């Protein structure tokens, strides 16, 4: 590798909003995230239901789309 052209690769801590801390290395340094594998619904199995039907109906009303019969 050429010297002097690569960014510094330093130890970093990634802190999640749930309190989980991950020790790793990064060129960015330490930072905070909103969601990680410990609290993500896909990995925990606790999925939050989203009112998708209400959103679709609101979109259709707003933009004048008619529901299929």
Measure the CA–CA gap between 39 and 48, rounded to whole angstroms.
12
pLDDT of 32 reads 92
Hey, what domains does the chain have and what are their CATH numbers?
10-63 (4.10.80.400)
pTM of the model: 0.53
Helices assigned H by DSSP within 1-69: 41-44, 52-63
Query: Which structure tokens are listed for 5?
Result: 């052209």
Could you report the per-residue pLDDT of 7-49, keeping only the tens digit for each? 889 999 999 988 999 999 999 899 998 888 888 777 777 766 5
């Amino acid at each position: 590798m050429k010297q002097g052209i690569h960014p510094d690769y330093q130890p970093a801590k990634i802190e999640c909003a749930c309190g989980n801390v991950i020790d790793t290395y990064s060129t960015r340094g330490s930072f905070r995230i909103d969601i990680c594998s410990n609290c993500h619904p896909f990995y925990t199995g606790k999925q939050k239901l989203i009112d998708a039907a209400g959103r679709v109906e609101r979109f259709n009303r707003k933009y004048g789309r008619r529901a299929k019969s």
